[in-house]
Chains A and B, each alone.
Chain A
């Protein structure tokens, strides 16, 4: 394998990893606050793809991106209000089952509305511009994805560590009841969390689909599951962990395919999940949690 081939593979892997990282943050954030694995997250990501397709059909791309970045968080909040909020006092298992229900609802609803025929993802000209360095060839989005991911994570970390909303989020994640007693508007904070998670999924969706060019109602399933694994790998509830997990899975998956083991590229991800849960259930950076009585 020549040097350019290896570099090309690395570029693909890092780019895929960046998109995974953005989605994985959504899992980790929601888990951190609600102790809920939001199985519908992958489908929110898929819906963002459709939002982009439809808004770009009638608006220029900057407006279309803006619409997608607004509508997706609104949908995330709406899902939380309708499917999760009424179950806040219910056992944790019920809310998780509700999440699975929402996931299937979104998939089937979009099969019904948009049919299962893959829809071509529209091209955003500046993202698709192709750069060539020697034998190396990549579109702008491939390079942009990891860079944008890092920037967004830094912004998010600042938001959580430095702002009042961030402080409230941390408080809610530490102790629900006490945070409520301290006058924090729990519902607002949870909505903000879902909005941020969905917003990042929307950004991830634009980057991911621009590179892969077609959306089906099931496009979100596998990336969703893989990003869930990425979040668990990094230590669910931990943002830098989710980012590291996303990049790790993206790169390893690409390298496995590159080495001719495409049969095992998906299997690897889930094997990783099992091993991680057996060896270090709290993930790479997760804190060992003490169950409070």
Chain B
């Protein structure tokens, strides 16, 4: 947390002195590429809560941004640059693969990181310094499998991306849950990173004739899978995880996206807490001011929660020292935008509810909530 202290010039000078001596007074971010939406929510959160109180003195939070370009190698570089910039807390990332790749760096340097929407269990497992504010893939996979069974699906096909921890992890958890609920997985297909042609795997899936297709993947591949499936005359319901809640998918897939079902963390039509109410109206205004569509994806809500969690932890720790913040994170108990945030012993937020949304008339529409015990 940096040090442009609020009040007198004297206090400012003192703060500058402290920063120079101790070197780690900044709250730092580590966010993926997917543009404005990802950095912007943190900038917004910073605007709403620009300061933090340590030892009775008010400090301004300084944001340092590093872009991991959704690439594992870049993620490591970004993480290192954040560490060397003297960050006290890291927020991010959104993707599981990049978070896992950078996790060890935060652990080795004893700087706590708070993940936003990295849902793979391995992000926090065995890493004392990684926390996250979202639910996990085993949970999400089970939720989607439950939903598919409830909708009467008996046969499912799964499409996953090779070497992507999020995609293959979530795909496996879905398949496992779907089988244990009495369904059968008739086709499991994989594709290479950066693939743009899914016709071959979709042709195989068409031949297996499933009721639902579960295809957790990045927002770059989603519209391609959706459109090519419809083009090949596949009518099965297409489902995916939280990543797909991004308006660019609807933009790119057009009418083919109608009926696509996904699970997510948050619904802006149904604010869960008081904090959520102010966040929704405030952030929408902020988006409009910055000429962005005023749709709040769940990842933004999680990013905001991660920021709130970070501030709270610093206040509890009463310090900007990484290990102290880490210990304080275990004690955090706040009402965030996506619900109550308490961390379990792994550093995962204790969440038991997911929102199911469906694409209808070019919009994500809230369908129902599913809880799994």
Contact = CB atoms under 8 A, between A and B. Distances in A.
A137 to B, nearest CB: 4
A10 to B, nearest CB: 10
B232 A116 contact: no
Interface string A1-32: 11001001100110010000000000000000
Interface in B282-334: none
Contact of A265 (B34, B189, B192, B233): B192
A3 to B, nearest CB: 11
B251 interface: yes
B220 A214 contact: yes
B227 A213 contact: yes
B177 interface: no
Contacts of B231: 130, 137-139
A138 B69 CA distance: 35
Interface string A96-123: 0000000000000000000111101001
B332 to A, nearest CB: 33
A118 B223 CA distance: 10
A257 B194 contact: no
A216 B218 CA distance: 14
A5 B224 contact: no
Interface residues of A, number: 37
Report which residue of B194, B195, B203, B228 has the largest number of chain A beta carbons within 10 angstroms of its beta carbon: B203
B8 interface: no
B203 A9 contact: yes
B223 A12 contact: no
A139 to B, nearest CB: 6
Contacts of A16: 197
Contact of A214 (B35, B200, B224, B254): B224
Contact of B200 (A9, A115, A117): A9
A13 B34 CA distance: 32
Given A213-B223, A266-B192, A257 B200 contact: yes
Contact of B189 (A2, A213, A222, A262): A262
B83 to A, nearest CB: 24
B199 interface: yes
A1 B220 contact: no
Given A214-B223, A219-B196, A263 B162 contact: yes
A12 B199 contact: yes
A248 to B, nearest CB: 16
B191 A117 contact: no
Given A120-B252, A137-B233, A5 B196 contact: no
B224 A12 contact: no
A212 B196 contact: yes
A132 interface: yes
Interface in B225-246: 227-228, 231-233
Nearest to B207: A5
Contacts of A258: 200-201, 203-204
7 contacts: A5-B204, A13-B200, A214-B252, A218-B194, A219-B196, A262-B189, A262-B192
> Which 5 residue pairs are nearest across A and B when measured between Cβ atoms?
A120-B252, A257-B200, A212-B196, A137-B233, A12-B199
Given A218-B194, A257-B191, 13 more contacts: A8-B206, A16-B197, A118-B223, A118-B252, A132-B233, A211-B197, A212-B196, A213-B196, A213-B227, A216-B220, A254-B199, A257-B201, A262-B200
Interface of A: 1-2, 5, 8-9, 12-13, 16, 115-118, 120, 123, 130, 132, 135, 137-139, 211-214, 216, 218-219, 222, 254-255, 257-258, 260, 262-263, 265-266
Interface of B: 33-35, 69, 162, 189-192, 194-197, 199-201, 203-204, 206-207, 219-220, 223-224, 227-228, 231-233, 248, 251-252, 254
